[in-house]
Structure formats: C-alpha cells, structure tokens
A and B are shown apart, each in its own frame.
Chain A
Amino acid sequence: MTGPVVSIEGLSIDYVVGAGRFRAVSDVSLTIEQGQVVGIVGETGCGKSTLAQAIPRLLPEPPATIGGGSIEFQGVDLVQVPKWKMPLIRGTGISMIFQEPLNSLNPAFRIYDQIAEAVRIRRARESGDRVADDRAPPPFDYARGPAPEAGDALLRPLVPAGAAAAVHRRRIGRDERLHADVLEYLRLVRINDPETILGLYPHELSGGMRQRVMIAMALSERPALLIADEPTSALDVTIQAQVLTLMKELIEEVRTSILFISHDLGVIAETADVLGVMYAGKLVEFGPVGEVFEHPRHPYTKALLRAAPTRYKADGPLTSIAGSVPNLARPPTGCRFHPRCPLAQPVCSAEPAPPLRAAAGRADHRSACHFADDVGRIP
C-alpha cells in the first residue's frame, strides 16, 4: 500500500479529572511512512506516552477522551472505530512494546505460552481468510505475504466461528508446528538456543532477554506499525546497545514502521529517521533527525540538545532549562514555552504559537515558533 502507514491530524486527548478536564495532548499532527522510524522525544509530562497509547486506543476511555482529530491507519480512521472492535487492529496492524518488560509479560506464564498465545491469535484470525489446508505446513517464513489492510482486518469476525473455527482448532492442535514457529520467532530476535528459555518464567530472565521476548511477541503478528514506548530505558547501557542494534537490524528485515518514544536524545539519534519533539502536550518540531539535531528550529529543541548529557563539558556549569514544565491544567497563555524561552517576545504570550510551519526550502522540517529562523543564533 502506498501512502503513509499512520497519519495523525489535529489529535487532542483530554483527561477528565473530578469536575475539570485538562488537555494532555493538544492538536498533534504527524505522519509515519512505511518502513520509517519516527522518534518522539520530550520530558516527563509532555504527552508522548499518552500519544503512543492513544494510537491503538489503549487509553482507558473514561477518564481519557479523544477531544478531536483523527488517526488514519492504512486508510481507516481509528477514532471512529468502536473500541470493542479495536482488538482486530491491535497485534496484527499495530503492536506495542513497553518500558518495563517485567510488567508487560505475565509473570504467571512461561515464555513459550506467552509467544504461543500471540501466534495462536494471529492464526485464529487468519483462519477465516484462507481455505482449510491439512497438507504439509509451509515452512516458517516471516516475510510470507503481507498482513491484511486495516479495512479488511476490521471485517473479520472478532471470534472466528463455524467451519473456520473448527479448522483453526485442528490446526493449532498440532503443537509441533506452533512449537517450531515460537522457536523461529525467538531466533529472529537473536536469542541463541531458544529451547533453553521456553520453559522459563519472565522473572527468571534478565532484562535484556525479556525485552527481546517482548519484541518477538510484538513482531510475531507482522504488524504494520510497532510502537515502542521507552523500550530501553530500564536496561543497562550495554544491554541497551544490544537491543537497539537488534531493533535496527530487524527494521531492515521485516520493514515495519516504528514509532519510538524516548526521553533519551542519544537513543533517538541512533535509531530514528524522523524526529518529533513534544512539549506540554504539543508537537513543537518535526523533521529528519539529522536536520533537527544540526539545525533545530525551536528554542525548546535547542535547549534539550544543549542539556543532553553527552554534551557535558568538563568545565563550566551544565546548561539546564530555566523554569519548569507547566501544569497542564493551567497552561501558559499563547505559546506554552514562552516563560522559559530565550527568544520570547510579547507576541509569544499574546497569541498562540503558530501551527507547524516548514522552513524555507525544506518542506519536511517543520516547527511551531514565530522565530524559527532565529533559533540558530542562540548560543
């Protein structure tokens, strides 16, 4: 399919708290192309995790509500899809991996059962698509045929019934095939001797291994989009390096698009093709990662880059960002960053920040600042 995998337009997400509501994500628009890695970076409370969980509609819908906008996934607006139908899109269309694998893997089930569950679900859904075939099973091949489009996926029954289900039951009764597939998925994530970990529980594995199992589960359903919410933040640096290298290699092999959320600029620099910077619920800059790092066009991006730990110099105080993140229940008037911005002018508090505008000559690098061209002059 041509065109972007995900196209988010003007998305806003509100939380209803007691009597009031506040806007955790404000009017965010971005696109994720096929095979692209989009990084979203920002500090705590900027809304990046909320955005990530909103795409597959994983947020609990009270107290969260979608206050406006659309999320187009392969041509289907996910905001319009009723929530009970979303399981058909999740997994096969959109997969997600989280920060702390100890919390995301069920501690009561062995590794084999967890991955097998993912494979079974996919097979159950596909059983409605194909005619029953009891002959020799095809060999494992991750790249065998594309997953169905979101529009077709939504037409499947939520629970396969009738003849298709009977075939499905007979198929998964063949444990050897399931077993073989599980082993292949584990090898896909570069776990040597996967047989040894099949019988283990999640707490018996190290953090890096658990994260690989999660990636295996996420990829086993051949998603078009993988959302990774701080997948390496809880890992040691050397293990993080291993997992990031693995993810980059897998991107080449399976050609999934990835939405990578992180607060670590170094990790984003290594993995992402395109970068979005969020502040206080708004997307303030969006563009190719090299461009944004070299020529940031928003003062907040510039400040983040300067404060990044790898830029620490041995002499002189570290640069931090003056002030603190605003309370989203009472955001500043006009541009949300203006109280902390070195370029602030009266127009910044009087009028809201402009929508994302492209630089002259570079349509793919956009930022939401009246003085985007002056950012280069900040020391």
Chain B
Amino acid sequence: MASSTATPSPPARARGAAVSALRSVATLWRVLRANPLTLVGFVLVVLIGLGALVMVVAPHLLTSYDPRQLTGDYSTAPSWRHPLGTDTAGYDIAAETLYALPLDLAIAFAIAGGAMLGGGALGLVAGYWDRPGSVGGALSVVILRITDIFLAFPSLILALAIAVSLGRGVWQLIVAILVTWWPYYTRLVRGETLAVKHLPYVTAARAAGVTEGRIVLRHVLRNVLEPVVVYFTLDIGTVLVTLSTIGFVGLGPGYPQTAEWGAMISFYQIGGLITAYPWTVFGPGMAIFVTVLAFSLLGDGLRDVLDPRSRRVLAGTGTAGATTAAPPAPQAPPPAEGVGPEPGAPHPAPGGIG
C-alpha cells in the first residue's frame, strides 16, 4: 500500500523542499492580503530595509550627495535640487535623512535585539528553572527582584541619566537604553515560559525520554518565540522613539558630526531656528514617523502570520474549525459547548491532584 516509506533521493528531496517553500510563500501572501494594514506595514518594512541596505552599499542610487558633503547652499527651502531643503550647516536634508536610516535602524535593532537576547535568556531561566528550594529557584528569585528594581524606574529618565554620565556617542546611546530595556523582555519571556512549561505536551516529551535541554529548545522556546517576536517587532518602533527622544534632548550622537534623526531634530530646533526654517525638521520627523508606523503595523499582524492555526484559516486552506476543540480564533463562532467534566482541584499543585 504505502509506496515511499524509504528515504527519498536527494534530487527528489530538493524538489520537495522547493515546492513546499513556494507553497509557504503563497500562503504568506494570502495571509498578508487578508489584512490590508498588515500588508502595508510589511511592504513599508521591506522598503525601509532595502533602502537601508542600498544606502550602505550603493548610496548613489538614492541620492546624489555624498555623506557630509557641503552643498554650498545654506538654509534653502525645498526645491528641485534639494527636495527637503538644506540646513544651516549646509547639508542636503534629504541626503542626511537617508544616510541616517541605516544608522538609526542599526541602533534600534541593537537595542531591541540585545534586550531580547539578554533579557529573554534571564526570563527563560527565571521561568523554567524556578522550583523553590533549588539553585534555579534561588537564581530565579534574584533575577526577578532585580527586574522589579529596574522596572520601578521610569525608563526614559534612567536612560537619560546614564547617557549623561556616559557622554555623547552612538555606543553610549545604545548602552544607556539597553540597560533600561531588558527587564520588559525578562518579564515577557518568563510569563510565556511559565504558561508553556505546565502544558501536557511538555510532560509528554519528558515521559518520552527527551532530555531537558532539548525540551527547552524544541518545545518551550519555539512556542515562546512567537509572542516574543511579535513584541520585538512592535518594540522596534518604541525603541526608535526613545532613542530619538534622547537624541532630541541633546544627548547621544551629535549632529552634524553624526547623521541621526533625533540628533538632527535637536540641532534644527536650537535657538528657535525652527521658526525661521520650518522645513528642516520635516525630513527626520517624517522618517521616524513612517518607520515606527511600519513596524507597528507589521507587528500587529505578525501574530496571525506566525500562528499555524490562524494562518490556515486566513489562507482558506483549512477547515473553519467547526468541529475542532481548538481555542477559537477571533472569527470562530459558537460558544464552547460542554467540553466535558473537569473536576477542579482546590489546590493546583504541579501536575494536578486527583
């Protein structure tokens, strides 16, 4: 009856892989199309990413000016030669905005990425190895209390204080914000880990003889990753606003030494220059706005893209869940009908009593 029980040959495998890759791209497209705002966010993010790449590799495709090129026109309003005008230092604003794009993105990803990795690792430890009375338990308590302490500070003010003490510069900016940013990831990952840790499939894996390390990687991390990635994407926007704010206040890298959006805005409003030359802040301001919007839109819709259940429903390939016992997606209708008796125990000890 069954024909291909043996391992298929390499060319067949490669073909199979290509087919499934194409199928998943098609599914992705259908899912994105289902929610137009997510599609807008996705397209914008892709454009922004491509733009950053181009600016690093071949900037002349997008702008005719080299970085730090003095144009000789000072404070001219937008015109054909200078689409966003020039500033008091003599630079073309559009060019500088574009040159700042890869830098700002890199800083934002560095901060959010570092917080996700570092804070996330701490959160995983605090969530998974938290049995009271063990080494992991003590470590969890320590991690959680430190997290609480950091969360008690208003993050922006703490970041400002650290930035002041460290001085101006890109690395100083990254460190300052990173130090205040990691606790949010710790909390998030810990919460998700706790939720997953007690699910029966984790216990089933243990009963099958899977080692603890592999359980963490294969079951816990994979299921925790999804909400974390969604949060991360939304977080890029928040980080960007924060770092721009710090730049705006006058810390972090300085303009015109470094092209960075927040620094640019800060420079343009010194001494009331903004009333004289109002077009200057438009460039970096719009850049921040569009970038934050793009990542926020994408982040919102990312949940639907990543979850295999809603992916299928939105792409229209699966059943509409009328008979499954799965927790209903937002569209799924009838209220759960008597799933069955579940005698509740008064004290939910691990594993459940009775």
Contact = CB atoms under 8 A, between A and B. Distances in A.
Instruction: Answer whether A and B touch in the complex at a CB cut-off of 8 Å.
Output: yes
Interface of A: 15, 17-18, 22, 24, 44-50, 53, 59, 63-64, 99, 102, 206-207, 230, 233-236, 261-263, 324-325, 327-329
Given A207-B343, A234-B344, A325-B323, A45 B334 contact: yes
B340 interface: yes
A48 to B, nearest CB: 6
Nearest to B34: A18
Interface string B316-344: 00011011010000011111111111111
A24 B343 contact: no
B209 interface: no
B343 A64 contact: no
Nearest to B332: A17
A329 B337 contact: no
Contacts of A206: 346
Contacts of B342: 234
A313 B323 CA distance: 29
B320 A329 contact: yes
A327 B337 contact: no
Of the four ranges (under 10, 10 to 19, 20 to 34, 35 or more), the interface on chain B belongs to: 20 to 34
A125 to B, nearest CB: 28
A45 B324 CA distance: 10
Contacts, number: 66
A377 B336 CA distance: 35
Interface string B224-264: 00000000000000000000000000000000000000000
Contacts of B344: 102, 207, 234
Contact of B320 (A17, A59, A230, A235): A17
Contacts of A44: 325, 337-339
B334 A327 contact: no
B346 to A, nearest CB: 7
Q: Which 6 A-B pairs have the closest CB atoms?
A: A15-B333, A49-B337, A230-B338, A327-B322, A263-B338, A236-B343
A370 B338 CA distance: 30
A49 B338 contact: yes
B331 A45 contact: no
Nearest to A42: B337
A248 B204 CA distance: 43
Interface in B55-72: none
A154 to B, nearest CB: 26
18 contacts: A15-B334, A17-B320, A17-B331, A17-B332, A24-B333, A44-B337, A44-B338, A44-B339, A45-B322, A49-B338, A102-B344, A230-B337, A235-B341, A235-B343, A261-B338, A325-B323, A327-B323, A329-B320
Contact of A48 (B331, B337, B340): B337
Contacts of A18: 331
A208 B343 CA distance: 10
B322 A234 contact: no
Given A17-B331, A44-B337, A329 B322 contact: yes
Contacts of B346: 206
A230 B340 CA distance: 9
A180 B332 CA distance: 45
A235 B335 CA distance: 20
Contacts of A45: 322-323, 334, 337
B336 to A, nearest CB: 8
A15 B330 CA distance: 13
A6 to B, nearest CB: 20
A47 B338 contact: no
Given A63-B333, A233-B341, A325-B323, 11 more contacts: A17-B331, A18-B331, A22-B333, A24-B333, A45-B322, A63-B331, A233-B340, A234-B341, A235-B341, A261-B338, A329-B322
A77 B220 CA distance: 53
Interface string B287-326: 0000000000000000000000000000000011011010
Nearest to B341: A233
Nearest to B316: A18
